Amino acid sequence: MHSSTPVTGPRVQAHDTAGHVLVVHIDRPPVNALSLELMRSLRDLFATLVDNYPNARCVVLTGVGKNFSAGADVKELAERTTEIQMARSVVSRGLFDAVRRCPIPVIAAVNGPAIGAGVVVASCCDIVVASEAATFALPEVLVGVMGGARHMARLVPDKMVRYLALTGRRVDARTLWRFGGIHEITAPDRLMPEVLALAEDIAKNSPTAVALMKEAINLTEDMPLTEGYRVEQLFTTLASSMADSKEASKAFLEKRAPVWSAR
C-alpha cells in the first residue's frame, strides 16, 4: 500500500504485428498504487478486451518501473468513509473478476513488489511469472483493514495465507514458488523475454480451445471432482465439434501447422 499521485493508468501495447499478444502496463508512478480511478480503468479494459482487441490470444500484465503494484492508495484509505469503502469494494471486486473471467489467458509478469490488492490482481491471472526482485504481502492488517486472503489462497496453502494475512510480512518470490503459486522465477532482465515467449506459445494454440479450457477451469474451480470432470467432458465434446478441432487433426496428419478459423 502506498500514497501516490495518479499520472496515467493502464497502457496496452501489441507485442507482435498480428496483435495476438497484448502487454498491459500498470502505469501510475511512483509505485503503481491502485487508486479507485485506476482500478476502474483496469476493470473496464479487461471487461471489454475481447471486443476492443479482437486479434488478441494472450495478455501479459506487468507494472511500469520497479513495482508491479503497491496495492491500495493509502491516501484514499485515510479518507475511508463508508461510501468510499463500499465503492472501492465494488470496483475492486469487479476488477478481480474481470481479470479472472477474461476469455483470453492472462499472464502476470511480476516485475517487483506486489502488495495487497496488487498480489490479488496477480492471483487472478492464469499464470504468474516473477522476477527475483518481486516480493508479496497482504499488509492490510497493519493499517487496520482486511485484505484479499481468499484470493491469496489461489497461490499458497491455508497456513501460508494465514501467516501473510495476520502478520502483514513480505515474502520473496521463491517462497511462493515453493508452494506452486509462481510458475517461474527469472532474473529481472529476463522477465519480459521469458513471459513473452510463453505468451507466444499460448497464442499459437486454437483460440476456441483455449477459451473453452479457461472457462471450464474457472467453472469447475470450486466443484467436487466428479461434477467438475463432468463439466469438463461437456466442454471437450463441444470443442470436438468445432472447426478448429477438425483442423488440428487434419494438420497433424498432413504434418503442417494448423490454420485456426476462430479469433
Encoded amino acid at 74, one letter? V
Q: Which cell is 20 given?
A: 495476438
The CA-atom distances, in angstroms, between 31 and each of 4, 122, 207 are 7, 16, 34
Cβ atoms of residues 135 and 111 within 8 Å: no
* Residues paired with 9 in a beta bridge: 27
Name the active-site residue from 76, 83, 132, 140. 140
Beta strand spans in the chain (E): 9-14, 21-27, 58-63, 106-110, 114-115, 127-131, 135-137, 171-172, 184-186
Q: How far is the first Cα of the chain from the last one, in angstroms, to the nearest whole number? A: 38
247 in catalytic set: no
Query: CB within 8 A of 188, min separation 6: which ones?
Result: 111, 131, 132, 133
Q: 58-87 in b/e burial notation, b at 16+ Cβ within 10 A?
A: bbbbbbbeebbbbbbbeebbeeeeeeeeee
Residue with cell 466443484: 223
- Residues that are catalytic: 140
